[in-house]
Amino acid sequence: MSDTASYGFDTLQIHAGARPDPATGARQTPIYQTTAYVFRDADHAAALFNLQEVGYIYSRLTNPTVAVLQERIATLEGGVGAVCCSSGHAAQIMALFPLMGPGRNLVASNRLYGGTITQFSQTIKRFGWSAKFVDFDDPDAIAAAIDGDTRAIFCETIANPGGVVTDLDAVAKVADKAGLPLIVDNTTATPYLCRPIEHGATLVVHSTTKYMTGNGTVTGGCIVDSGKFNWSASDKFPSLSAPEPAYHGLKFHETFGALAFTFHGIAIGLRDLGMTMNPQGAHYTLMGIETLSLRMQRHVENAEKVAKWLENDPRIDFVTYAGLASSKWNGTAKRITPKGAGALFTFAVKGGYEACVKLVNSLDIFSHVANLGDTRSLIIHSASTTHRQLTPEQQVASGAAPNVVRVSIGIEDADDLIRDLDQALSKATA
């Protein structure tokens, strides 16, 4: 497609990046299930390996099906390029990989998916990296946590599990003043509800496993490059600004400009980390994205209805949905996610831990799974599952206290979901 800026979201989610197959005329993007690609000649092969020409070498690096998905997500997010990989967790490591180094740290929100908190507080220590967790409702706290070794700021648009909406504009101001890239996980919002780059994000990461694919079939991740950060403004990011030995001293930012991070993600990140997305997975995600806006509208509509019902139920202590007028984050949601506050939130059940377990075990329509963003409504007791590795204090800070369950509201009939919750709550609080 030419001049994608002139097309609406609904058109782009179907057409961006895709063209009829030149060999067969196939309208749907084919699954290019191949590991390698034949070079035209020796000079062509050399040019590809020297990054002098763009093309396909080996499917650990690039694949035509995956390339369409990358272009589509980058277009929907308003970025200059994207790199797809094997999972959302892989996307986070790949986003940090060119920025970090031994002794370096990132400042991260204390409201994150439990697996991300574990990855940042435990696993990245093996690389010599570290993370400082602070309350991102307090820009001064973010600024105070930054030191000479900080290399990135990280948050989620709509925080998992509580559904808290982050004031990206305020966080971006702190990042800009410090000369640091802001990385935003936009999984739970999707570009339909929020485009973080428009609020100052440098990089946007996704678990495409969730709403992007939308049907719970494949795992995947993506890093979208805004193309707006000056990697050469300081000596903090030598992977992007300094000579790269593996490419005869090539400087990624000097050579590729706005696409420096994208090229590095493929030429270094996928080459050496090997977190590759398979072409069949990319195909499923492309099909899912075609209905993204339609699904998100229904997700939000249902979530608002269910959250309002729960808020008025005497068996519930509180509901965290930012789309509720009573929410502390309702004003932020109206600015950051004006089309809706998503479909992920938590609620506290009177009766505590045991009542939550009984609730989960008594539901019929809701599926008890460690996932979100499916067309089906999902529920999980985070304190005993996704956030069980955290301390009690961390669980409370991240919105996963023992008396809380997380729901991902699907696109079923909202009245059926309410009836299911009603009967399960009766059993759980009897």
Domains in the chain, CATH or no CATH each: 10-99+181-288 (3.40.640.10), 292-428 (3.90.1150.10)
Average pLDDT, the chain: 95
SS3 234: coil
pLDDT at res. 55: 94
Percent of the chain surpassing pLDDT 70: 99
CB 259 within 8 A of CB 228: no
> Which pLDDT band holds residue 217 (cuts at 50, 70, 90)?
very high
Report d(CA 380, CA 375) in Å as an integer.
16
Q: Looking at residue 397, what is its pLDDT? A: 74
6 against 426, higher pLDDT:
426
Band (395; pLDDT cuts 50, 70, 90)? confident
Q: How far apart are CA 202 and CA 81, in angstroms?
A: 12
Q: What is the pLDDT of residue 295?
A: 98
In the chain, % of residues over pLDDT 90: 90
User: Looking at residue 80, what is its pLDDT?
Assistant: 98
DSSP classification of residue 377: -
Q: Give yes or no for a contact between 405 and 384, defined as CB atoms under 8 angstroms apart.
A: no
Which of 384, 352, 310, 84 is closest to 207 using CA atoms?
84
Q: What are the residues facing 83 on neighbouring strands?
A: 223
Per the confidence metrics, is the pTM higher than 0.75? yes
User: How confident is the model at residue 400, as a pLDDT?
Assistant: 80
Q: Check pLDDT > 80 for residue 398.
A: no
Distance CA 167, CA 109 (A): 12
* Neighbouring C-beta atoms of residue 426, cutoff 10 Å: 12
> Between 103 and 402, where is the model more confident?
103
pLDDT in tens, 13-60: 999 999 888 888 999 999 999 999 999 999 999 999 999 999 999 999
Best CA proximity match to 145, nearest among 137, 133, 156: 133
**Bridge partner list, 225:** 81, 203
State yes or no: pLDDT of 77 exceeds 70.
yes
Write out pLDDT tens, residues 297-312: 999 999 999 999 999 9
User: Is the pLDDT at 5 greater than 80, yes or no?
Assistant: no
Binning pLDDT at 50, 70 and 90, where does residue 3 land?
Answer: low
pLDDT tens for each residue of 312-344: 999 999 999 999 999 999 999 999 999 999 999
* Angstrom distance (rounded) from CA 26 to CA 51: 30
Local confidence band at 2 (pLDDT 50, 70, 90 cut-offs): low
